Structure 1
Amino acid sequence: MAGPGASPSGSGASGGSGTPHGGNSTQGGGGHGGGMTPAMIAMFAARQRVNERQMKYFAAGLGGLIAIFVVLHWTRYLYSKITRRSVSPAIASPFAAVTRALRRRLIRKFPRMNSSGHALLVTAYVGINCAVLFTNLDFSNMGNFAARAGWLAASNMAFVVFLSLKNTPLAFLTAYSYERLNCLHQISGCLMFLMMVVHAACYTSYFAKKDKLSILREKEQVAGILAGFAFLSVVFSALVFRRFWYELFYVVHLAFFIVGIVSVCFHQPTLGKKIVIVLFSTAAMWVLDRLLRASRALYNLPNNFATVHPLPGGGTKVVFKKVPARAVPGKHFYVWIPSLRMFEMHPFTIVGTQPLEFIVKSQNGFTRDLHKFALKHPGAALRASLDGPYGTFPDPMAYDKIVLIAGGGGASFTFGLIVNLLEKMKENSNKSIDFIWTVKQHDNLAWFTQHLETLHTEAKPGLINIKIFVSRAPVSPEALDIMPHHHHHVGIDDSTPESARQDRHDRALTVTTNSESGSSSISPISPTDTEKPIVNGREEVDIEKEMQKRLEATEKAALATTAGQRTSVIIQSVNTDTDQMGTQSPRPPHRIVSGRPDTATLIREAVLSANKGERVLVAACGPEALMTVVRNTTANLIRGGGPGVELHCEQFGW
């Protein structure tokens, strides 16, 4: 692979800056054989100047693209500050009308992209690359095209590294932290590699035609070939390993990136060509970011421990002894537990800060080993540290209504956001919160026991409207402990007011069915499991036998339930409030519905309940299918005559 400035001229000479590699070759004055005439030297010098100018255009194009987002972000931020203090509704402003019309189209899901806005951004980025590649170029010499592609490969490499920085300045300038830039990071990485392939292919083709493939044995070209294969491994790991083995992807990605960038430096070692300056700047950015992260981790290490607790359904609760500065629920830290993984750090969302708490879903690699350790040593404390926090999201205090949607473990983000909001809210606040949470199994509800109880007991009545859906029926005994330390009522929400009770260990299980229907009783936690016939409309259930039956029930039996049937479970703490008459009344329960929710309808109802002058935040975290529904539904609700709607999505994956 020849360098970005190499020339497949008739004599085989090379020189990206307009000068030859050397003049002592036995094959001639050029580094690739054959002496260069003054005319050739002048040609290479002119090409070098043109390529340098084109790279300045490339930098200006990317800078302009970033500037657009900076201006839009701060303009919207200042506008929201002004309109909140103004008596005139925000919708009367032409600025609001224009931005709403744009956002209505840009936040929609786009195939293989997070949104149409992401697709537009990628299109602009690719367009800048194409414009720089094909303009001001003499196509009569293939070397000119190869050299331009080499320059673009090096410049894109710098941009790829910039997008990967955890401590990116874009988090402050545009409110887009590194994880939200990951889509563009992947695209730019692939485009960088494509430019490398074009660069290498064009030069190799020329040398083959001139019967000078021996040039590829020179040490600079060997370094270039090594760099090509190193970056091939980087791209391959991102496209293949990342999907099913993240830890292998990370090791391969990082190791071969280092090999690649060092090899490129040996491929173009001459300072006069200025390519090496771009490479040194790229390496400096990456090293500085790593040093900042390492210094934070070392600073948070002394006298810091992580206590691990196993949760049903493969969850693990991790509680840290120390709370680092700037820790905010909803953001995320990189967690380092040396005894489990000496050289790995993994990102997890903050659920709470009093104490610092994370809920980790067991999958593969580190999370699986963490859960196994917690099962063997529940309550064990491990020396650990943290790097962060990272992540950006809108300030929920700036909105009148907050709609939170979570799928499974995505509740870590939404619970964190609620905790963050409750900590800031005043007693007389008139904000309202709608919380929609879908889990696969009842076991997952036990992951957030304490936080469900907090929302139930500490939030002002009527402040939070919680809707919980369980898409699968089977349950483990631990899932019953949704509200510990209190008596509980768990019952089928039905029209019949009568219920059966049995006290056991300060808990009560209530099963209620519609006796007029003549149907079998239904398990309150696994509502699709049929039990013995009802006697006189009611039946007492032994808890241990009930739980055993639930554990033995298969999903096949659960799915065999009559199509469309849906029952809801009420989990109610018997904490009582004293009213003005001195009597005690139970607080409203959390209702759990069996089946998948109509998420679009729930979002629509929540947003449309706000007045048109109010501001609504729709924040969601979950799998891609859920995010697609949230994006498209929210986009349809951004209207000139409706409330101001803001969307924030935290999608699974990195």
Structure 2
Amino acid sequence: MDLMSDMPMGSMSMGDGAPSLFTMQKMYWAVVGSAIGAATLVNILNRLLAQHRLRDSSLTPAKPKSLFFNTYATLTAIVREISNATIHPLTLFNSTYTIHFPPLGPVLIILANLITILVLSFYKLDTTDVWQWEDIGYSTGFIALCQLPLIFLLAGRQNIIGFLAGMSYADLNWFHRWAARTLWLTATIHMCFWFRDWARYDYIKYELYNDELTKRGFAAWCILTFIVVTSIRPIRGLSYEVFVLQHLVTFIGFIVAVWMHVPDEVKIWVWIPIGLLVFDRVARYAWGAYTNLAVFHRNKSGKGSRVWTHSATFTPMASNITRVTIENPGIHWKAGQHVFLTCHSIIPFQSHPFTIASVPEDEKLEFFIRAEKGGTTRLFRYASKNDKVLGAVDSAPSARSRTVFVEGPYGTLRSLRQFDSVVLLAGGMGATFTMPLLRDIASVWTKESKGEIGHGSFQAKRLAATKRIRFVWVIKSRAQLSLFETQLHSVLADVAECRRRQPDFPRELEVSIYITCDEKLDPPALPSPAQGVVTSGQDPSYKKEISVEKDNISFHSISANSSLTSEAAPAPVGKGCLPGGGCCCTTQIEDEDQINTCACTCSGPAQTNPNIPPPSTSDEKTIPSKEFSPTILSGRPYPRTIIRKVLEKAEGESAVVVCGPPGFSDDVRRSVVYLSDERAVHKGTGAQGIYLHVENFGY
């Protein structure tokens, strides 16, 4: 495994007519650079396309109208169908563990990288020729070394590749892990061929015990193996905090071992990753200092005497969820982005990524954090202990607020305003991602209906090309409705107001909420006039309804735990389900227009926290009871039918955005691929393209 030689190995050829090792390294980066360049070009074209659509004054701005954009749309549709294709998950151990596979597109990119590496490593070398085993050892060593910069380029949060390609570091992190595994494979081949060469003379043990260079190389391989093993999802999921700490420490050890192992002529490949790591850290710390030091935001915070900018309040909510609120933040963000949040007084020396559930117009950062384990559990315990409703001694706002540090925002998503139709699907806490996107588009609808469109030579003629939005939220418990009922009230009321202000308002919004389980509901107090219909309990014998109309707008509350409007009846209760138990319905509803009945299964006592007070029933806005009321259904959605109905009305390219459990995301991804193929998008049928965004932190 010795890379040293009396003469520079990098300038030598490893075979008849083969390029030098230095040339092989340059060829590898020519391939990588070409891929990054192609992704950059696509990103630029997409940005130009978005601007073009917002400047298009026709009735179908999201539909391609030129030969160039038609050709681009056709190629895009073909690539999307291939890249989004995925196979069904594999269930193991009697359905106790499920393996979810990544889509075909990322897999093909990783395979292309692997093939490139293997071709360059073995170019014009014969693996059966014992006299070439040493040459293969050198070749694979040099190729392994030149992969290091790519590993670090894909790992940083301040990501150069992400900036050029228009991708989030969270999406690139999957490529980072697989590129590291490819590096491990190349390093293993490099080591094995040296061992194979030494084994002819029974020399392996001697080299490992006596040769310093071999010791360092073997140490680097051992550290890299540990890194690869601990980065596997089941292992890294055991403790996020421990994984982050050991990952950083072991990578530093790996770089040091590699630097000590390689000759001086190729140490540049080690210095580049070190420089990238330093750049990422310096950029993050510099931006973090600007974001979190109050001296840079005194006018905004109004508290110039404070050292730190951000102070957060923590409120416990149903289903073990903590609401974190930061007023007047020192950052600017877009809907769909996330930040890393740190609160040393509660969870010291830890930083966790959380999606921003608010929009910039709120002038506050809001997060809904489910208590899973580790730091998130401690946040919920702190919020519950200090909540004023529970009668805590130190329940004053000053006692409940804590200084927090914000890093970000991060996250990249193509502007949804450029699409004709948008389908937003969320499972559980995935609504923290889709709700701001819904509010963002609805807000520009309101501005357009009021005529609030800016002027200027470069100002778009419209704020959004979107004509219809389909919002779907799947939750287990009705109590979770309280998380976003105010936001849904606001959005539905705003759209209704747009319709009243402009009778021919060319926008459509449809909201569906699927409830898979229902917990015990306590009988509510008499509702206020704004509350309307209240259905309480699971026994129809004591169901009580009160209907109130105000200004020709009626309210219908679905349960005591939520004042959210609904025309739908409560979820059916299966036989044998007692009031003290829960009712679960996992039947997939293929068509919302058909009346669905669901045989529920008893799930035992509801998993609710008795210390959490019920959500407020005060309503800030009123909602029309028909067209602009959400549909409440018991069961699970059938994404293919939901998306198909939207696409049938689309007059331009549509967008489908999903955020939820892996199984739900996979189902949506397969549905989009199926529908794109079924409709023969941009292949002579006139059907329009489908852009898909799946929000997650790796596969």
TM class, shorter-chain normalised?
A: 0.7 to 0.9
Corresponding residue for 1:416? 436
Matched, 1:643 2:688: yes
Change (3 A) 1:49 1:467: same
| Maintained 8 Å contact 2:511/2:631 | yes
Question: Aligned AA for 1:624?
Answer: P
* Alignment partner of 2:207 out of 175, 195, 215: 215
Corresponding residue for 2:197? 206
In the alignment, the residues of structure 2 paired with residue 161 and residue 650 of structure 1 have an alpha-carbon distance, to the nearest angstrom, of: 23
1:309-351 CA deviation, whole Å, 9 max, x = no partner?
1111121111113423331221011111112333221111111
| Maintained 8 Å contact 2:121/2:140 | yes
* Alignment partner of 1:364 out of 366, 373, 391: 373
* Alignment partner of 2:494 out of 423, 446, 458: 458
Change (3 A) 1:306 1:219: farther
Residue aligned with 2:517, SS: coil
Change (3 A) 1:293 1:510: closer
| Maintained 8 Å contact 2:153/2:160 | no
Corresponding residue for 1:266? 260
Corresponding residue for 1:601? 641
1:302-451 equivalences in 2 (<5 Å): 302-352=308-358, 353=360, 354=362, 355-378=364-387, 380-425=400-445, 426-428=447-449, 431-451=467-487
Residue aligned with 1:195, SS: helix
Question: Aligned AA for 1:633?
Answer: S
In the alignment, the residues of structure 2 paired with residue 68 and residue 591 of structure 1 have an alpha-carbon distance, to the nearest angstrom, of: 43
User: How far off is 1:249 after superposition?
Assistant: 2.2
Question: Aligned AA for 1:407?
Answer: G
Aligned residues: 572
Corresponding residue for 1:38? none
Question: Aligned AA for 2:228?
Answer: V
Question: Aligned AA for 1:74?
Answer: I
Residue aligned with 1:450, SS: helix
| Maintained 8 Å contact 1:617/1:645 | yes
| Maintained 8 Å contact 2:368/2:432 | yes
1:254-285 CA deviation, whole Å, 9 max, x = no partner?
221111111111122x42x22x1111111110
Corresponding residue for 1:90? 64
Residue aligned with 2:474, SS: strand
User: How far off is 1:594 after superposition?
Assistant: 1.0
Residue aligned with 1:489, SS: coil
* Alignment partner of 2:86 out of 87, 103, 109: 109
Change (3 A) 1:296 1:527: farther
* Alignment partner of 1:528 out of 573, 594, 600: 573
In the alignment, the residues of structure 2 paired with residue 391 and residue 576 of structure 1 have an alpha-carbon distance, to the nearest angstrom, of: 31
Change (3 A) 1:356 1:629: same
In the alignment, the residues of structure 1 paired with residue 49 and residue 627 of structure 2 have an alpha-carbon distance, to the nearest angstrom, of: 40
Corresponding residue for 1:284? 275
Corresponding residue for 1:473? 518
Matched, 1:299 2:290: yes
Question: Aligned AA for 2:21?
Answer: N
Corresponding residue for 1:553? 581
Change (3 A) 1:219 1:628: same
Higher relative contact order (CA 8 A, sep 6+): 2
Give the superposed CA RMSD: 3.8
In the alignment, the residues of structure 1 paired with residue 162 and residue 486 of structure 2 have an alpha-carbon distance, to the nearest angstrom, of: 32
Matched, 1:252 2:226: no
1:116-157 CA deviation, whole Å, 9 max, x = no partner?
222221221112112211114465321111112212222222
Matched, 1:610 2:650: yes
1:483-507 CA deviation, whole Å, 9 max, x = no partner?
9994242459xxx9xx843699xx9
Corresponding residue for 1:168? 159
In the alignment, the residues of structure 2 paired with residue 255 and residue 476 of structure 1 have an alpha-carbon distance, to the nearest angstrom, of: 50
In the alignment, the residues of structure 2 paired with residue 179 and residue 143 of structure 1 have an alpha-carbon distance, to the nearest angstrom, of: 39
Change (3 A) 1:66 1:204: same
User: How far off is 1:530 after superposition?
Assistant: 6.7
User: How far off is 1:45 after superposition?
Assistant: 13
| Maintained 8 Å contact 1:396/1:617 | yes
* Alignment partner of 1:243 out of 237, 247, 253: 237
Corresponding residue for 1:127? 115
Residue aligned with 2:347, SS: coil
Change (3 A) 1:47 1:333: farther
User: How far off is 1:553 after superposition?
Assistant: 0.7
TM-score normalised over the length of structure 1: 0.78
Corresponding residue for 1:544? none
TM-score normalised over the length of structure 2: 0.73
In the alignment, the residues of structure 1 paired with residue 27 and residue 558 of structure 2 have an alpha-carbon distance, to the nearest angstrom, of: 71
User: How far off is 1:477 after superposition?
Assistant: 6.1
1:583-633 CA deviation, whole Å, 9 max, x = no partner?
x9899433321111122111111221222xx23221111122212222222
User: How far off is 1:475 after superposition?
Assistant: 4.9
1:10-54 CA deviation, whole Å, 9 max, x = no partner?
xxxx457249xxxxxxxxxxxxxxxxxxxxx98899999711110
Question: Aligned AA for 1:195?
Answer: T
| Maintained 8 Å contact 1:18/1:48 | no
Residue aligned with 1:300, SS: helix
User: How far off is 1:531 after superposition?
Assistant: 10
Q: Which moved more, 1:437-446 or 1:94-103?
A: 94-103
* Alignment partner of 1:61 out of 17, 21, 31: 31
Change (3 A) 1:178 1:406: same
Residue aligned with 1:244, SS: coil
Change (3 A) 1:63 1:180: same
Question: Aligned AA for 1:190?
Answer: R
| Maintained 8 Å contact 2:356/2:366 | yes
Corresponding residue for 1:157? 148
Corresponding residue for 1:73? 43
Question: Aligned AA for 2:85?
Answer: R
User: How far off is 1:79 after superposition?
Assistant: 4.2
In the alignment, the residues of structure 2 paired with residue 575 and residue 284 of structure 1 have an alpha-carbon distance, to the nearest angstrom, of: 53
1:477-496 equivalences in 2 (<5 Å): 486-491=530-535
In the alignment, the residues of structure 2 paired with residue 285 and residue 79 of structure 1 have an alpha-carbon distance, to the nearest angstrom, of: 32
Question: Aligned AA for 1:117?
Answer: G
In the alignment, the residues of structure 2 paired with residue 320 and residue 555 of structure 1 have an alpha-carbon distance, to the nearest angstrom, of: 36
1:215-268 CA deviation, whole Å, 9 max, x = no partner?
333333222222122111111111142233322222222221111111111122
In the alignment, the residues of structure 2 paired with residue 99 and residue 509 of structure 1 have an alpha-carbon distance, to the nearest angstrom, of: 44
| Maintained 8 Å contact 1:473/1:525 | no
Matched, 1:99 2:76: yes
| Maintained 8 Å contact 1:315/1:359 | yes
* Alignment partner of 1:501 out of 545, 550, 555: 545
Residue aligned with 1:648, SS: strand
* Consecutive unaligned residues in structure 1, runs of 5 or more: 7-13, 20-40, 512-522, 533-548, 579-583
| Maintained 8 Å contact 2:511/2:629 | no
The alignment-based identity, stated in percent, is 22
* Alignment partner of 1:52 out of 5, 8, 22: 22
Question: Aligned AA for 1:376?
Answer: K
Change (3 A) 1:43 1:134: closer
In the alignment, the residues of structure 2 paired with residue 376 and residue 636 of structure 1 have an alpha-carbon distance, to the nearest angstrom, of: 49
Question: Aligned AA for 2:629?
Answer: P
User: How far off is 1:436 after superposition?
Assistant: 0.7
